[in-house]
Structures are given as structure tokens and as C-alpha cells.
Structure 1
Amino acid sequence: MPELPEVEIVRQSLDKKIQKKKVKKVIIRNRSLRFKIPRGFEKFLENKTIVKVSRFSKYLIIYLSNNQFCVVHLGMSGTIHLIDFKDKKDVTNLSFYNSPFLPKKHNHVEIIFDNFKVIYNDPRRFGFFQIIENNRDLKKRFIHLGPEPFDNKFNLKYFQKFIQNKLKTIKDLLIDQKFVSGIGNIYASEILFLSRVNPSKKIRSLNKKECNQIISNSKKVLLNAINKGGSSIRDFKNTDGSKGGFQDSFKVYQREGECCKRFNCDGIIIKKVIANRSTFFCNYCQI
């Protein structure tokens, strides 16, 4: 599943393409996604101008000219493709997963503009499109989620209050979207490596310094990933034909059995399953 940096790259690409553009037509080829696309969805989007494409956590938010919104989640395998009617390119994918080319199957939604169209493709159909009528409902939609790592609310006071009387491991906590929004399996391992914290450590035993390190490194790792175009875990090239580059900077993720990259560390990267997810860490400097 794409994490915050990958969704942010999709947001940037999509915003650049569709901002201030008017939707001419919407075609639904399959309504049976994670949540069934409502019958009025076509009318909801058609003849509306896109104000901007925003994001919260792993969700895309399309702002419409009538002060309504369309929330999009890519799920496990959802990708967004752009087809230019005049300048057809081989590479169409705005996302970082699966093929960079438009697949022949599983094209569920088409949003058509004057000179191009946007296609949502999703083999597993865990993604969804959701109509949001007003600002109040938009805020309510995300009220169950914690702050983003970049939010000022994600601070030491918030951290220490949240972990009181909880028995989770720190790895399990970091991927809990109720605690902090947008961090998934990949970046949790990288954040804990930079923080020198063992992912199996119980959160009740974290000290103030460790909490501050995790807060700071959460921002650092995600911002670095965004600046490097996200992580291309599979065969992906973006619309410019280039891969996301953060996977080249992985310190621990998918490096099982390799030497630790930290200076003067003789450790080896270990793989362990925590909360049913593969977790990577150094057996020496993350004690």
C-alpha cells in the first residue's frame, strides 16, 4: 500500500494536471470498489471545475468549484493514469506501484477533460471514491485519524499522553493511523533505525529522548522520501519516466542479512514479524 510520500507525489502530479480544469464526462465501468460508487457520482463530478487536489494522510482530496469534495483512496493496488488525447505517451502512471503503463484490465473509473482523461485502475478493488458534501463532513471524515507527522500537534506532549497505559510495541504504534497518519510499514522501520530504537520495544518504556527522536525522524524520513520521489518498491516509472529514488536510501527496509550502514556499527540487519508485518532493524545499534 502506498504510504504518505507516495500519495503526496500522486497529489502533486494530479494537481498539476487537473487544477482549474473542467470535468466534461465521467464513466464508471465498475462500481464495486471497497465502497460501492454511488449512482449519482457521475452527476456529482460532471461540469465541475477542479479547484485543487489536496491530501490528508494517505487520502487524496479533490476540491470542486461548488465547495464540495471527492475523497480518493488508492487502497492496496490502485493507480491513477493520465491519457493525453493529443500527445500520447507510453508512460501514463501517476502512482508508484504496479506497471507504469495503462493496464488493459481493471480500469474502473474514467474522468474526462477537454484534452485528456484520468483513469483509475485497481486490480484488487480496495480503493474507493467518496462524495463529501461540505467542509463539516470533510473534517468529520478524518476525525478518527491522528495528526500527520508534519503537524505541530505531533509533539512530545501528544506522544507521551497517547502512550500512557498502552502495551503496544513502538513499531505497532507508528503504523497505528489513530496515533499518527500516513506512516506505514516501510517508513516505520526507517524512522526507528534513525532513532536507534528497537521496533519491539514497549512504548511504556520509551524515555523522553527516544520520543523526541522518533517525532523528529518521522518528519525527516518522510520529507526526504517526498523529495526523492517516494519509494518504487516495484517496477514503476512516473510520468516523467523516472523512478522514485528513496528505496536507494533504505537503511534497513528489505536489507535482511546485510551489514548495517551506520558508521562504525558492526551489526547485521534482522527481519522480524511484528503485528503481522515484516520489520527490519539492526541487531547491534537498535538495542
Structure 2
Amino acid sequence: MPELPEVEIVRQSLDKKIKQKKVKKVIVRNRNLRTKIPLNFPRFLEGKKIIKVKRFSKYLIICLSNQSYCLLHLGMSGTIHLIYNRKKSLVTNTSFYSSPTLPKKHNHVEIVFDDLKIVYNDPRRFGFFEIVVNEHFLDKRLSKLGPEPFQSEFNLSYIYSFLKGKTKNIKNFLLDQNFVSGIGNIYASEILFLCKIKPDKKVSLLNKEDCKKIIFNSKKVLINAIKKGGSSIRDFKNTSGKSGNFQKNFNVYERKGLNCKRSGCNGIIKKKMISNRSSFFCNICQI
């Protein structure tokens, strides 16, 4: 599943390519995504200009000229492809994961502009499009999500009050979008490695220094991943021709059985299933 850095890369690509362009036509080939695409979705978008493309957590927010919004979530396997009318591109995917070129199957939605179109592809169909008629309803729609690690609201006081009296492990909380928005399985493992905290450690055992480390390293890992183009596990390029290479910097993720990279540590990276998700950690320096 794409996490915050991957979605941010898609946002940057889209904002650069479709901002200030008017939607000419919308083609919905399959309404049956996680939630059904509204019947009036084409009419809602057609004729509107894209003011900009924003993001919150793992949501893309397409801002329209009539002050309404199109909310898009990529789910587990959703990708957006840029297809130009008059030139062929070896790479169409705005993401760094899945196929670098447009697959022949599972192309559910096309949004057409004068010189290009964007195509939404999603084999598992866990992604979705939503119509949001104004800013009030957008704020309401996103209000249940926790703050992003970059926001000032994600602070020591917030973490302490949220975790007080809870019994779950810290890995599950980092994946809980009601607690903090945008962190997924890959980056949770990387964050906890830098914090020297085992993923299955109960939050009741965390002290203030642990919480400060979580705040600092959540920002650090995500910012670094965005700078390096997200985690292109399969090493594809995006439409600018650049490869995401954060995976070259993984300390623990998918490094089971390898030596710990931390200086002076003789530990071995272990893999453990936590709530049906793979967790990677050092058996020595994470406690």
C-alpha cells in the first residue's frame, strides 16, 4: 500500500502536470471500487479547472475551480498514469510502485484534458473517488484522521494523552490513522528502529524520551523518503524519469537475517508478524 511519501510523490507529479488545466471529459469504466463511484461523477468534474492538487495523509485532494473537491485514495494497489495525446512515454506511472507503464486491465477511470489524460488503474479496487462539495465538508470528511507527523499537533502532550491507559503495542498505534496520519508498515518499522524501540512494545511502557524520539524520527524518516522519491521496492521510475531509492536506505525493512546497520551493534534483523503485518527489527538494539 502506498504510504505518505509515495502519495506525496504522486501529488507533486499531478500538481505539476494538470494544475490550471480544464477537465474536458471523464470516462468511468468501472464504478465498483471500495465505494461506488457516484453516478454524477463525470458531470461533477467536466468543465472544471484544476486549481491545485493537495494531499492530507494518504488522500489526494483535487481542488476545483468552483471551490469543490475530488477526494482520491489509492487503496492498496491504485496507480495514476499520465498519457499524452501526441507523444509516447516509456514511463507513465506517477508512482514508484507497480507497473511503470499503463496495464491493459483494471483501468477504471479516465480524466481527459486537452493534451493528456490521467488514468486510474487498480487491480484490487480498494481505492476510491469521492465528491466533496465545499471546504466545510472536506474538513468534516478528514476530521477523524490524526495529525500528520509534520504538524505541530503531533507533540508530546498529544501523544501522552492519546496513549494514556492504552494496552496495544506501539507498531499498531503508528499504523492507526486515527492516531497519526500517513505512516504505513514500511516506515513504521524504520521509525521504530531509529527510536531503538521494539515494534511489539506496549505503549504503557513508553516514557517521555521514547515519545520524543517517535516524534523526531517520524518526521525524519518521512522527509527523507520524500526527498529520495518514496520506496520503489521494485525500482521503477516515475514520469520524470527519476527512480525512487529510499529502499537503498532501509535499516530493517525486508532485511531479515542480515546484520544490523547500527554502528557497534552485533544484532541480526528479525521478522515478526504483528496484527498480520510483517515487522522488522534488530534483536539487540531495539528494546
Calculate the TM-score normalised by the size of structure 2.
0.99
Report the CA distance between 1:201 and its aligned residue. Answer: 0.8
Distance 1:4 1:44 in 2: 27
CA distance in 2, matches of 1:235, 1:257: 22
Q: CA deviation at 1:240?
A: 2.4
Runs (5+) with no aligned partner, structure 2: none
The equivalent of 2:247 in structure 1 is: 247
What is the alpha-carbon distance in structure 1 between the residues aligned to residue 134 and residue 6 of structure 2? 27
Quote how far apart the aligned CAs of 1:198 are.
1.1
In structure 1, what is the Cα distance between the partners aligned to 2:156 and 2:91?
Answer: 43
Asked if residue 272 in structure 1 is aligned to residue 261 in structure 2, the reply is no
How does 1:15-26 map onto structure 2 within 5 Å? 15-26=15-26
Indicate yes or no: 2:91 matched with 1:84: no
Unaligned runs of 5+ in 1: none
- Which residue is 1:256 aligned to? 256
Shift of 1:218: 0.1
1:243-269, CA deviations, whole angstroms, 9 ceiling, x for partnerless residues? 211000000000000000000110000
1:22-48 Cα offsets, whole Å, 9 max, x none, are: 000111111111111111100100000
Distance 2:141 2:226 in 1: 25
Equivalent residue runs for 1:220-239 within 5 Å: 220-239=220-239
Once the 2 structures are TM-superposed, how far is the Cα of residue 272 of structure 1 from its aligned partner?
Answer: 0.5
Contact between 2:235 and 2:244, CA under 8 Å: does it hold in 1?
A: no
Residue 217 of structure 1: aligned partner: 217
Cα offset, 1:197, TM superposition: 0.8
**Deviation string, structure 1 residues 207-233 (Cα, Å, up to 9, x no partner):** 111100011000000000000000012
Distance apart, 1:156 and its partner CA: 0.2
Which residue does 1:132 correspond to in 2? 132
Counterpart-to-counterpart distance in 1, 2:90 and 2:206:
50
Report the Cα distance in structure 2 between the residues aligned to 1:239 and 1:18, rounded to whole angstroms: 13
Kindly state the Cα deviation for residue 143 of structure 1 after the two structures are TM-superposed: 1.2
| 2:193 aligned residue | 193
CA contact (8 A) 2:235 2:245 kept: no
Structure 2 equivalent of residue 29 of structure 1? 29
Note if contact 1:99-1:235 (Cα within 8 Å) is conserved in structure 2: no
Q: C-alpha displacement at 1:95, in angstroms?
A: 1.4
- Number of equivalenced pairs: 287
Q: Distance in 1 between matches of 2:125 and 2:235?
A: 20
Q: What secondary structure sits across from 2:35 in the alignment?
A: coil
> What are the Cα deviations for residues 164-190 of structure 1, in whole angstroms up to 9, with x where unaligned?
000010111111111000001000000
User: What amino acid maps onto 1:65 in structure 2?
Assistant: S
Provide the residue aligned with 1:4 in structure 2.
Answer: 4
CA contact (8 A) 1:107 1:119 kept: yes
Measure how far apart 1:235 and its partner are. Answer: 4.8
| Equivalent in the alignment of 1:38 | 38
Q: Look up the equivalent residue of 1:147 and give its one-letter code.
A: P
Contact 1:2 1:96 (8 Å CA) reproduced: no
Aligned to 1:174: 174
TM-score in terms of structure 1 length: 0.99
Residue 99 of structure 1 is matched in structure 2 by: 99
Matched-pair contact (CA < 8 Å) for 2:61–2:71: yes
Whole-angstrom distance in 1 between the partners of 2:10 and 2:233: 15
Q: Which moved more, 1:88-97 or 1:249-258?
A: 88-97
1:65 corresponding residue in structure 2:
65
Q: What RMSD over aligned residues (CA atoms) do the two structures have, in Å?
A: 0.8
Counterpart residue identity of residue 220, structure 1: K
Aligned partners of 2:96 and 2:32: how far apart in 1? 23
Residue identity in the other structure for 1:198:
K
Give aligned-pair identity as a percent. Answer: 68
Residue by residue, what CA displacement relative to the aligned partner does 1:85-125 show, whole Å, maximum 9, x if unpaired?
A: 12211210001221100101111111110101110011111
